[in-house]
Amino acid sequence: MGESGRVVMITGGSRGIGRAVAFRFAEEKPSMIILHYDPDDSAASDTVTKLSELGIQAAAYKLDVSSYKDVEALFKNVLSRFGKVDVLVNNAGITRDSLLMRMTEDDWDTVLRVNLKSVFNCTQVVIRSMIKQRGGRIVNISSVVGQIGNPGQANYAASKAGIMGFTKTIAREVAGRGITVNAVAPGFINTEMTAGLPDKIKQYFLQQIPLARMGEPEDVAEAVYWLCSDAARYITGQVIHVSGGLFM
Ligand code: NAP
């Protein structure tokens, strides 16, 4: 186990925001569990190698977090290897954008499964052990789009708004057990998810951001880390927006 003794599990920790969260935790030398899905696991192995170079005990597991059965099996594995999970960051997410008139049933189902059902899956399997140890931190990565909507993202916005409702409900359910549950809602962040957007869309977003730039994954990681620190012990059921003021 790492020096701090905390065991941190991050879904989608192989790249983008999840990877930045992993590196933000690095200074306290936790044990780190990275979940990812791409069969080409070069991003995950690169992340684990770099974390190991920093002296962190890190492991990557490849699975589809939207499968309850697979998440349950993974967690058994994690418990036998690490003994517990103190911090869960539900970060894995995807987009399948199109206007409602053109959105297929598969686009809807896939995004809701990966972005929202996965949060139920991972939270439910982890929370039992957090309740037993009477403590834990859960941070769910939502999106500004779940709050304000965005044309072409009905599935994504619904999944991210769902995360906000889920977060507040579970925060109420487990507050008495010393567990905090919060959400972070990023705005427009510089990762592979946004890299492919047409310049026109990027310009449109940039014009609406008071701080007049895209966010970096590290900007989001800072808020996640803080919510998991002792400094945030009296904060639960909140949605913290990290969007340069895009939503206020
Ligand atoms: P990203 O760079 O595309 O990374 C997504 C991560 O999720 C990858 O590690 C990916 O693993 C993992 N993942 C995807 N599907 C998975 C599945 N079925 N099972 C397990 N892991 C899976 O995305 P990002 O921009 O960092 O976004 C991270 C989170 O922030 C997402 O929830 C996203 O919705 C949210 N967010 C992002 C922005 C933004 O502007 N970037 C804004 C608001 C909210 P593989 O690489 O192995 O597939």
Residue 13 Cα distances to 35, 47, 154, angstroms: 6, 8, 25
Q: How far apart are CA 23 and CA 222, in angstroms?
A: 10
One pLDDT digit (tens) per residue for the chain, 248 residues: 545 689 999 999 999 999 999 999 999 999 999 999 998 889 999 999 999 999 999 999 999 999 999 999 999 999 999 999 999 999 999 999 999 999 999 999 999 999 999 999 999 999 999 999 999 999 999 999 999 999 999 999 999 999 999 999 999 999 999 999 999 999 999 999 999 888 888 898 899 999 999 999 999 999 999 999 999 999 999 999 999 999 99
Q: Is the pTM of this model over 0.85?
A: yes
Pocket of ligand 1 (CB under 6 A): 11-12, 14-18, 35-38, 43, 64-66, 91-94, 114, 141, 143, 186, 188-189, 191-194
- The domain spans of the chain are 7-242
State the closest ligand 1 atom to the C-alpha of 14, by its place in the atom list counted from 1.
9
CATH (one of 2.40.50.140, 3.40.50.1100, 3.40.50.720, 3.30.470.20) for 7-242: 3.40.50.720
3-state secondary structure at position 226: helix
Strands, sheet with 31-36, edge to edge from the N-terminal-most edge strand = 57-62, 31-36, 7-11, 87-90, 136-141, 179-186, 239-242
CB 189 within 8 A of CB 206: no
Best residue among 35, 75, 89, 94 to mutate for probing ligand 1's pocket (most ligand atoms within 8 Å of CB) is 94
Dihedrals phi, psi of 188, to nearest 5 degrees: -115, 100
Strand ranges inside the chain, DSSP E = 7-11, 31-36, 57-62, 87-90, 136-141, 179-186, 239-242
- CB atoms inside a 10 Å sphere around CB 151: 9
